[in-house]
Structure 1
Amino acid sequence: MNPDYLHRPGESPMSDVDNIVGQITRDDIDRARSLLRDVAIRTPLVPVSAANGRAALAKAENIQPYGSFKIRCGSYAVLSVPDECLDRGLYTASAGNFGQGVAAAAARRGVPTRVYAPDNAARTKIGMMRSLGAEVIEVSFSRWWEILSGEIPEGETAHMVHPCRGREVLIGNATIGAEIIEDAPDIDAILVPFGGGGLVLGIAAAIRLLAPHIELIACEASSSTPFTSALAAGKPVAVESDPDSFIDGIGGAMVLPSAWPLLREYVAGTAVVDDEQAAAVVAMMFRKHRLIVEGAGAVPIACALTKPDFANRKVAAIMSGGNIDEQVLTDILRRHS
């Protein structure tokens, strides 16, 4: 069975009160771009192509400081926290990339940070968070998901900076969409890796304001398809994840219920590739472009270059990060020589 799922955005209209994406303005995005100018770089759109003749534009967020787009949303979220909320520090739940962004921004504000991370997270991400001064508490994946879903860890009194929820996180991510639309205004679709929903909803905000004709597609690996499964079921459902997958930055136990109405409102559908298709892109980007891409960042490119729906269309794919363990990269390059 083809796991991809398409639907009609806006099938279940939301109230204005609940629509956080619809409340974001151009001024919000412009302000974030101004504040982030000295924190994150404006990344290029890299033309990529495959042996099958297909082509796409890859938004190279993997070359950001600390190797991920999350320097944008993590930094903007921390910069937006009022001073009176910082007395007891900050905490977040992250597999690594968002934690790095939060830790770096918190260090600039002189605020201690705790990161609850799943114990299967890439070692390079864990090490980088600690090097940035964060206290990293490794927990089981199921416990991490509970914290990500809103459960407060026992004894935790710090201010929570959530990686997927919150207006500031979405605005920080919307800056990526604004850059793509400025640099390639004639694209037909933007392909986004789907984790907790913060990135895809941030891009949705930019599309709504700047180029509503562009189709927004959430991309998943077949090793974990919470959004595809939710669309098929008509509601968030629990899914199994492959613990041996090298793709650790996307997927999850299920779509966060708080994000579900927004996702149905703004995302046109999903595209799914398997781990080996993503691994082939990791190898291709290293050999042809000398770029290091993690699994989550490779998935949208793999979708763009292999899925029939994107043939003969101009698409941009967000290459979200480059934080891949060296041994994992070495193994992929050996398999895809």
Structure 2
Amino acid sequence: MIELSDIQTAANRIQKHILATPLVFSQAFSQMFGGDVYLKMENLQKTGSFKARGAMNLILALRDQIPENGVVAASAGNHAQGVALAARQAGLPATIVMPVGSSISKQEATRNYGGQVLLEGQTVSESLLVARKLANDGRMFIHPFDDPLIMAGQGTVALEILQTLPDVNRVMIPVGGGGLIAGMAVALKALKPAITITGVQAAVCPSAVEAMRKGRVVEVPAATSIADGIVVRQTGAGPFAIIHGRVDELVVVEEDQIAAAILLLMERKKNVAEGAGAVALAALLGNAISLKPGEKTVLLISGGNLDSPLLGRIIRKGLIQSGRIMRVNVMLPDVPGALARLLNQVADHKANVLHIHHNRSRRDFPVNMTAVELELETRGEGHAAEIESALRDAGYTLMFC
């Protein structure tokens, strides 16, 4: 367990080495959700994630106890970069075990911060086993969340929030292994007992939700998510002991809601969040939490390390989810002019054609008919519904993809 004094000590220890990230009021999100919405931008932290705080606190606190071989950690991304940076600041070598399938960009970022990357294991759990074995060879193992110094470092985010916005009513925090929300909960409840703390998890991996429901740490099935940074099958025992008594509520969000939240942050705030970093906003989008007028709510945008290929897929998924990409098959007579008449209908309703494909091979279509697969850019669900209605009124048979 940790106390407020541990977090205050951590803040003093790491303040020269990390950034005090902005706390930004969002007029757009406040209008959308009914309360006063603020964003704590930890995606602008060094290494692009809050993880630098905990790693920096542990390594600086234990600098004299760390062997010459340095430290070892296992991670697929943010913890890896945080440990590598902190070790470099302390003048220590860092060995980072990453799963074989880790993204190349995250491997390179970890190397750029000074970490020696070893690709071992198919999952983070398997990489952790390798890292623990390496610790037997004279390295200090750094756990990503189940460590008091790590939790205390992460808890410094809460001190910054309360310094900037002392009358905050609610803080919404992503939850994976639990180190971040545990550290923040200690500080928030000590300094402002009436505050509401909301944890947010990906619905595909609700380890903390299940732990709260059963009153003990449990392991949930393996899953994949675009919020990969919080896909942790089992909440840490140390974090859970804190979460159980201090966190007011835990909610889950679906993948489509996370994708939509990433897109919304890009379009409205011109800011990139990774999946885990966007789940607090996703909880508002999915109505998992409703805000009261005048209620000051901080959404923690915990990280921004999003791979470029994944970003493209998420943008596309977000556009589809919000109704701004419409995909439809239209049955047409296979005669000259039929396609032109269809596209004139589309143009009359101000939709943009992104993709078109003639498919004459569908078994379920008569031989004299063809399927035209259209992908249209629209202004949103209302516009898409207007186009659908117009095409049906014009006599077209539609089948949605």
Which residue in the other structure is 1:58 paired with?
39
CA contact (8 A) 1:39 1:71 kept: no
Superposed CA offset, 1:122-164 (max 9, x none): 443222112222122332226347549x954585431112221
Tell me which of the two structures has the higher relative contact order, counting C-alpha pairs closer than 8 angstroms and 6 or more residues apart: 1
Partners of 1:230 and 1:277 in 2: how far apart?
A: 23
Q: Which residue among 290, 297, 310 is the counterpart of 1:315?
A: 297
Which residue in the other structure is 1:95 paired with?
76
TM alignment of 1:24-173, pairs within 5 A: 24-25=4-5, 28-48=6-26, 49-50=28-29, 52-55=32-35, 56-138=37-119, 139-141=121-123, 143-144=125-126, 147=129, 152-153=133-134, 156-173=137-154
Partners of 2:72 and 2:85 in 1: how far apart?
A: 13
The 10-residue stretch of structure 1 (135-144 or 260-269) with the greater mean CA deviation from structure 2:
135-144
What CA RMSD, in Å, does the superposition of the two structures yield over aligned residues?
2.3
TM-score by length of 2: 0.72
CA contact (8 A) 2:198 2:251 kept: yes
Secondary structure of 1:114's counterpart equals: strand
The 10-residue stretch of structure 1 (175-184 or 165-174) with the greater mean CA deviation from structure 2:
165-174
Superposed CA offset, 1:269-322 (max 9, x none): 211111111111111111121111000000012113443533214321110000
Partners of 2:83 and 2:185 in 1: how far apart?
A: 23
The 10-residue stretch of structure 1 (281-290 or 150-159) with the greater mean CA deviation from structure 2:
150-159
Code of the aligned partner of 2:160: E
TM alignment of 1:1-337, pairs within 5 A: 20-21=1-2, 23-25=3-5, 28-48=6-26, 49-50=28-29, 52-55=32-35, 56-138=37-119, 139-141=121-123, 143-144=125-126, 147=129, 152-153=133-134, 156-243=137-224, 245-312=225-292, 313-337=295-319
Partners of 2:127 and 2:168 in 1: how far apart?
A: 35
CA contact (8 A) 1:71 1:100 kept: yes
CA contact (8 A) 2:21 2:41 kept: yes
Code of the aligned partner of 1:299: V
Please state how far the C-alpha of 1:57 moved relative to its aligned partner.
Answer: 1.3
1:259 to 1:206, Cα distance in 2 relative to 1, 3 A: closer
Secondary structure of 1:259's counterpart equals: helix
Secondary structure of 1:47's counterpart equals: strand
Partners of 1:258 and 1:308 in 2: how far apart?
A: 27
Please state how far the C-alpha of 1:54 moved relative to its aligned partner.
Answer: 4.0
1:65 to 1:259, Cα distance in 2 relative to 1, 3 A: closer
The runs of 5 or more residues in structure 1 that have no matched partner are 1-19
Superposed CA offset, 1:213-240 (max 9, x none): 1122211011211111222233222212
Percent identity, aligned pairs only? 28
TM-score by length of 1: 0.85
Partners of 1:106 and 1:60 in 2: how far apart?
A: 24
Secondary structure of 2:237's counterpart equals: coil
More strand by share: 2
Please state how far the C-alpha of 1:95 moved relative to its aligned partner.
Answer: 2.6
CA contact (8 A) 1:93 1:144 kept: no
Code of the aligned partner of 2:116: E
Secondary structure of 2:228's counterpart equals: coil
The runs of 5 or more residues in structure 2 that have no matched partner are 320-401
Secondary structure of 2:289's counterpart equals: helix
Secondary structure of 1:192's counterpart equals: strand
Partners of 1:33 and 1:255 in 2: how far apart?
A: 25
1:71 to 1:151, Cα distance in 2 relative to 1, 3 A: closer
Partners of 1:169 and 1:256 in 2: how far apart?
A: 12
Q: Count residues in correspondence.
A: 313
Partners of 1:188 and 1:66 in 2: how far apart?
A: 29
Partners of 1:85 and 1:53 in 2: how far apart?
A: 48
Secondary structure of 2:118's counterpart equals: strand
CA contact (8 A) 2:72 2:96 kept: yes
Code of the aligned partner of 1:101: G
Which residue in the other structure is 1:6 paired with?
none
